A and B are shown apart, each in its own frame.
Chain A
Amino acid sequence: MANPTNAGNPKVDLAYRRKKNAAEMKHQVISFALMIALTLVAFFAVGYDEFSHWFSVPFILLLAAVQVAFQLYYFMHMSHKGHEIPALFLYGGVLVAFVTIWAFMTIVWW
């Protein structure tokens, strides 16, 4: 371990990398399964006549938000290190968009 230039060499710490990749794969598969499940739940919520629209519309919007988070954090690797700046700008954009829509909902189309 005297040679620090090996840091970028994929053969070093092979066991560690294997383990890490396996863990990541596991996360991806779990979130993929969850996303399919959430989609099915969403379809069910819309299709089931007993639920009123006042329940199902906010409910599927909530599910959509969860799915976006899964997509970003597990499939697009935002959970990894080095994604702080993209996250900052993403949330910045979300904030500006939210304030805009909020204003339109409250003082333009009241």
Chain B
Amino acid sequence: MSTVARKKSLIWDYLTTVDHKKIAILYLIAGGLFFLVGGLEALFIRIQLAKPNNDFLVGGLYNEVLTMHGTTMIFLAAMPLVFAMMNAVVPIQIGARDVAFPFLNALGFWLFFFGGVFLNCSWFLGGAPDAGWTSYASLSLESPGHGIDFYVLGLQISGIGTLIGGINFLVTIINMRAPGMTYMRMPMFTWATFVTSALILFAFPPLTVGLVLMMMDRLFGGNFFNAAAGGNTIIWEHLFWIFGHPEVYILVLPAFGIFSEIFATFSRKRLFGYSSMVFATVLIGFLGFMVWAHHMFTTGLGPIANAIFAVATMAIAVPTGIKIFNWLFTMWGGSIKFTTPMMYAVAFIPSFVMGGVTGVMNAAAAADYQYHDSYFVVAHFHYVIVGGVVFALLAGAHYWWPKMFGKMLNETLGKITFWLFFIGFHLTFFIQHFLGLMGMPRRIFTYLPGQGLETGNFISTVGAFFMAAATIILLINVVITSVKGEKVSADPWGDGRTLEWAVASPPPEYNFAQTPLVRGLDALWIEKMEGKKGLTPAEPLGDIHMPNSSILPFVISLGLFIAAFGFMYHAKYSWSLFVGIGGLLITFICMFLRSVVDDHGFHIHKEEVLETEKGVKA
């Protein structure tokens, strides 16, 4: 089949695609939309708290907005945006033509998407979840209405998608590296993706178990967390944080990976201390599983458990410190170019270190009794997540935008976005440390005048609007670039070091006409330094085997989406149970079809590859 004959409508193409580059764009769009929703919720929170005794969002509605802000930002914005970067870049960085399981890759995306849509349907169907993003059982089991059910089922569905995505990247990185790409030659972002995927593999099952138990309690008369019936509400907290703490590293390790790429590229130097970077990444991933109870110091674990978890938590500062120094030494003596991604990277270091320092403060269990549930904690984790993860996602978006879309985002607008976001971020969250130390508890919807909290909260709200303005300018930049932007070459920054900068922007669907031979770290840089124009091929030019696209991932996920509605309302309407079973049937029939019907894929013939490559060179 020729490329022309396979032309189909754009929407159908994206609904059925199994191409990692198109799935990356899907993740970017869906994650971006949820990021806007979560950002809007953040603005509502800040408007409500702008002045004392405000009545913009009162009581229950505030709880819903607050819960959905946290849940949306973590599960539906940050995670998929991280996956967008991984999908766009990792297969190309390791010299592969796609991920190991392209079909599963599409399935992972659609499961996340339908889970997210399901969660947000709650706004229109009687109210959103309102027990905080941690949804502690003693609170959430008492929550009336279906809000928590939306949380439980929506996160379950999107969680399966994340788990599938993580396993896919593990297999891809272990099995699909190009010849010569040893583990210690993998770019730092690929290493980060690898460790992150391992964390997903081990961290998501506890969440799944916790959500299943809560589903039983909420929907099917279980009593796992019901102390009155012999259950134990603390079990949820442990299961949630055994997942929840590694989740923090699932988000921030890819951020570290993105910045490592950016520092090396725009300092035009090899990443300083590459092997210690790898070591630190793995160590952070390992320690990340040993510290979850530091979220529960005030639960009453006892002094011994608190001390152990406090010391383990502080130990994480060591590998993180290694990384910080390596980034500084990468810049040291480099010929630095202050592009938009580099500005985010440089700003990230002090911002993230502040989050790290307050993290060590929180880790001191005795002191944590004072910080716990105050705005100090809110300030801490926003410094880590916005100053680390969001900065990295914005930097990565600017850095890889030309690779994903073939057009360069406008640098001037990008820098305006950066400055607005950077100033707004510190304006919003720096003052919250002090609000917390003055005694403002988190999660409250209002406060009284005359307690010294007015000025701090007002400043914080002003900062939030700066970040909103930055986001709007970013959107304008995207629109302008899409309409007017000029086509760019394979290596638009001019200093690309890793394999993704050796293929066209955007890359052809098969990525590499010939699988490259990797001769060291920063494979493209090595070739450049030897005066070569392209990569050294590891195989002769030949026909390329590609997977067929399929609508099944979409339908499988749709089935679970329908099933979730059916099971949620089963207590209210007797026929609803059949809707649930019907939804599951759709899913299982599609899985059956996928197992039984052979799909051999197709070949892109050598002549077509040659023709495409000629178009690229010209």
A→B interface (CB under 8 Å): 85, 89, 92-93, 95-96, 99-100, 103-104, 106-109
Contact = CB atoms under 8 A, between A and B. Distances in A.
Nearest to A88: B198
B234 A108 contact: yes
B293 A92 contact: no
Contact of B289 (A85, A99, A106, A108): A99
B540 interface: no
B206 interface: yes
A92 B202 contact: yes
A66 B272 CA distance: 45
Contacts of B174: 85
Contact of A93 (B202, B238, B301): B202
Most B C-beta atoms less than 10 A away, residue of A99, A103, A106, A109: A103
Contacts of B201: 89, 93
20 contacts: A85-B174, A89-B170, A89-B201, A92-B198, A92-B202, A93-B201, A93-B202, A99-B290, A100-B206, A100-B242, A103-B238, A103-B293, A104-B235, A104-B238, A106-B305, A107-B302, A108-B232, A108-B235, A108-B238, A109-B232
Interface of B: 170, 174, 198, 201-202, 206, 232, 234-235, 238, 242, 289-290, 293, 301-302, 305
A107 B289 contact: no
A60 B467 CA distance: 61
Contact of B198 (A89, A103, A104): A89
A92 B174 CA distance: 16
Contacts of B198: 89, 92
A89 B198 CA distance: 8
A96 B202 contact: yes
A103 to B, nearest CB: 7
B301 A107 contact: yes
B179 to A, nearest CB: 17
Most A C-beta atoms less than 10 A away, residue of B198, B202, B290, B293: B202
B507 to A, nearest CB: 28
A28 B581 CA distance: 45
A107 B293 contact: yes
A104 B290 CA distance: 13
Nearest to A106: B305
A108 B293 CA distance: 11
A110 to B, nearest CB: 8
A96 B209 CA distance: 14
Given A85-B174, A106-B305, A96 B238 contact: no
Contacts of A85: 174
A99 B202 CA distance: 12
A90 to B, nearest CB: 11
Contacts of B305: 106-107
A104 B170 CA distance: 29
Contacts of B234: 108
A102 to B, nearest CB: 11
A109 B272 CA distance: 47
The 8 closest A-B pairs by CB, nearest first: A96-B202, A107-B305, A107-B301, A96-B289, A85-B174, A108-B234, A100-B242, A108-B238
Nearest to B171: A85
B508 to A, nearest CB: 31
Nearest to A104: B238
A85 B174 CA distance: 8
Contacts of A109: 232
A93 B167 CA distance: 13
B195 to A, nearest CB: 11
Nearest to A110: B302
Nearest to B209: A100
B502 to A, nearest CB: 27
B312 to A, nearest CB: 11
Given A96-B202, A99-B290, A104-B235, 20 more contacts: A85-B174, A89-B170, A89-B201, A92-B202, A93-B201, A93-B202, A95-B289, A99-B289, A100-B242, A103-B238, A104-B238, A106-B305, A107-B293, A107-B302, A107-B305, A108-B232, A108-B234, A108-B235, A108-B238, A109-B232
Contacts of A89: 170, 198, 201
